Amino acid sequence: MLLFPRWKMLIVLLVCAYAALAALPNLLSEQTLKRFPSFLPNQAAPLGLDLRGGSHLLLQLDFDAYLREHMANLRDSLRVELRKARVGYTGLKAEGASVTVAIRPETVREDVSLREIFERVDPNLSVEEGGNQYQLTYTPPKMREMRAHLLQQSIEIVNRRVNETGTKEPIIQRQGDDRIVVQVPGLQNPAELKALLGKTAKMNFHLVNETITPAQIAAGAMPQGTRLAAMDASAARSEGQGVPRLPIYSDVALSGELLTNASASFQEGMPVVEFTFNALGARKFGEITQANIGRRFAVLLDNKVITAPVIRSAILGGRGIIEGNFTVESANELAVLLRAGALPAPLTIIEERSVGPSLGQDSIDAGTLAVITGTGLVVLFMFLSYGLFGLFANIALMMNLVLILAALSLLQATLTLPGIAGIVLTMGMAVDANVLIYERIRDEIRLGRTPAASIEYGFKAAFVTIFDSNLTTLIAAALLYYFGSGAVKGFAVTLSIGILASMFTAIMLTRLMIYSWARWARPKALPI
């Protein structure tokens, strides 16, 4: 009777000890945390915008502007293809979401297929024919796919730019079909964020002018058609010390708009970056690499060279790799940069607001007071109702709070005001399991069982009820997280963590304390 295996006891104690270490950084200053040994948890739970203060922006993607530019590029590509095929045309223009052209039928030879010409421009285009008039458009599903892809790329651009401010834990998420929510805790001036996001990440590919000497670079004397492009830190290191700029041809060889994907991979055990162009980009990329073997091809993002690999062979099919002195992290970073710059589009700020640190501190103070008051009342109730057993439940309640803080810190889940509300709710719910167990123990005593048997049967009989009640609450929390957004998700996260922590403390920790006390004291009657 009242057996609690040593291995199970050791697990409970280790979990509680590690949780205390993980929760400790929330009570210490940043200077103290910097002196922590690296093997110990040293991250506090990040505070959300409503607690820390900061800036909030709602951005809208200007898909129409992107579409106009994209259709203009298709118009130019179609003009080139028709001239190559020596097909006469009139009225070639891009209007809105379509390109229209009138073909002169007498110039269309038997060996020329207009359909093949249109597919070379973009195989995803839908062609409507009316006499000699052709209209090139995208189908509604393809338009939705383009919009979703563009929005995701824009989110990556925004995320990279906001992270460059050094601000921790920005919240950047999609809202609807064409909007992005940006919340930056700790940034009190929205003007800084607006200026940062006002720039559009533009990526282009340029051939490097290999005839320029280091002396010319140092003097800044560039011939016509060549300019010096600044290199980012990693690219400059790969080129060698004292090479902060690279001479490139001014004309854009290939636009990053044509890039569809990039990902980190491995080749011969070394990290590389794989990239993919769309049909038009693949054809242009193949022609450029075929004609420039042995030359360097610079990739510019925001007018800075991020890499300049040597073209070793013709790359056909629109797929290639970038080799370099990459680590896994730097390869992933470069892949993100390439993806982020693939489809630039204007972002319009349609809502902005800021939360001052004083208001955030007021929220923290109010939330702290709510947690202390709620916990204090629960502690008082349990002690008055169950005496010594209530004290055991109160110790478990304190550990429950420690487990929640530890989980938030380890997961780096942002703590918001609704999250504090979830903690307060959890504090009240955490003793539910103890109440069920204690009342069942009282029932067993009334039935005439011994103290040891009452404790044993009390825990066993109450387990199913505790499990079912907490499972239903977890299901509700999961649905809140799945369908909710922002503050609702924060509430769901803390509620879920609190439920799991309360089950652990009630079923395992409280049981360990009561079993240990009963085996030591061997009471003839239970003080409950």
Q: Which DSSP string do the residues of 179-223 spell out, in sequence order?
A: EEEEEEET---HHHHHHHHHS---EEEEEB-TT--HHHHHHT---
- Is there a domain that residue 287 lies in? yes
For residues 242 and 322, membership in a common domain is answered with yes
Q: What is the pLDDT tens value at each position of the chain, 528 positions in all? A: 567 788 888 999 999 999 998 888 888 777 777 777 777 788 888 777 777 777 888 888 888 888 888 888 888 888 888 888 888 888 888 888 888 989 888 887 877 788 888 888 888 888 888 888 888 898 888 888 888 888 887 887 787 667 654 445 677 888 888 888 888 776 666 776 776 666 555 678 889 988 888 888 888 778 888 888 888 766 556 555 455 788 998 888 888 778 777 888 888 778 888 888 888 888 888 888 888 888 888 888 767 887 788 888 888 888 877 766 677 877 776 776 666 554 457 788 888 877 665 555 676 777 778 878 888 888 898 888 888 898 998 999 899 989 999 998 888 777 777 888 888 888 777 888 888 888 888 888 888 888 888 888 888 888 888 888 889 989 988 888 888 766 677 788 888 888 899 889 888 898 899 888 888 888 888 887
- Is there a domain that residue 89 lies in? yes
For residues 509 and 384, membership in a common domain is answered with yes
Q: Are 207 and 298 in contact (CB under 8 A)?
A: yes
Radius of gyration of the chain (CA): 32
- Is there a domain that residue 353 lies in? no
Query: How is residue 313 annotated by DSSP?
Result: S
For residues 515 and 372, membership in a common domain is answered with yes
Tokens of 125: 């285009």
Determine if the pTM surpasses 0.75. Answer: no
- Is there a domain that residue 188 lies in? no
Residue 179, phi-psi category: left (phi > 0), alpha (psi -120 to 50), beta (remainder): beta
Tokens of 328: 């896994």
Residue listed under structure tokens 């955030």: 360
Please enumerate in sequence order all residues whose Cβ is within 8 A of that of 355, keeping only pairs 6 or more positions apart, or say none: 49, 50, 53, 54, 55, 56
For residues 324 and 397, membership in a common domain is answered with no
Alpha carbon distance 67, 33 (integer Å): 50
pLDDT (tens digit per residue) in 399-413: 998 999 999 888 877
Sign of the dihedral defined by the CA atoms of residues 501, 502, 503, 509, in that order: positive
Q: Are 138 and 97 in contact (CB under 8 A)?
A: yes
Q: Are 248 and 209 in contact (CB under 8 A)?
A: yes
For residues 478 and 500, membership in a common domain is answered with yes
User: Count of domains in the chain?
Assistant: 3
pLDDT (tens digit per residue) in 172-206: 888 888 888 888 776 666 776 776 666 555 678 88
DSSP result, 446-496: HTT--HHHHHHHHHHHHHHHHHHHHHHHHHHHHHHHHH--THHHHHHHHHH
For residues 378 and 507, membership in a common domain is answered with yes
Closest by Cα among 400, 418, 427 to 489: 418
* pLDDT in the model for residue 200: 55
For residues 340 and 212, membership in a common domain is answered with yes
- Is there a domain that residue 403 lies in? yes
* pLDDT in the model for residue 357: 57
For residues 430 and 473, membership in a common domain is answered with yes
Instruction: Reduce the DSSP state of residue 100 to 3 states and report it.
Output: strand
Sign of the dihedral defined by the CA atoms of residues 49, 53, 54, 58, in that order: positive
- Is there a domain that residue 471 lies in? yes
Alpha carbon distance 406, 398 (integer Å): 12
Range of the domain at 369: 6-53+359-521
CATH code at 392? 1.20.1640.10
CATH code at 276? 3.30.1360.200
- Cα dist from 211 to 207, 225, 456, 478, whole Å: 12, 13, 86, 62
For residues 389 and 276, membership in a common domain is answered with no
Please enumerate in sequence order all residues whose Cβ is within 8 A of that of 380, keeping only pairs 6 or more positions apart, or say none: none
CATH code at 89? 3.30.70
Residue listed under structure tokens 């129409």: 64
Tokens of 249: 């041809």
* pLDDT in the model for residue 233: 64
For residues 331 and 412, membership in a common domain is answered with no
For residues 426 and 479, membership in a common domain is answered with yes
For residues 321 and 277, membership in a common domain is answered with yes
CA dihedral 309, 312, 314, 319 (to 10 degrees): -50
Where is the domain boundary, 322, 345, 368?
A: 345
* pLDDT in the model for residue 399: 92
Where is the domain boundary, 108, 138, 168?
A: 138
Where is the domain boundary, 112, 138, 164?
A: 138
Backbone angles phi, psi at 506, to 5 degrees: -75, -45
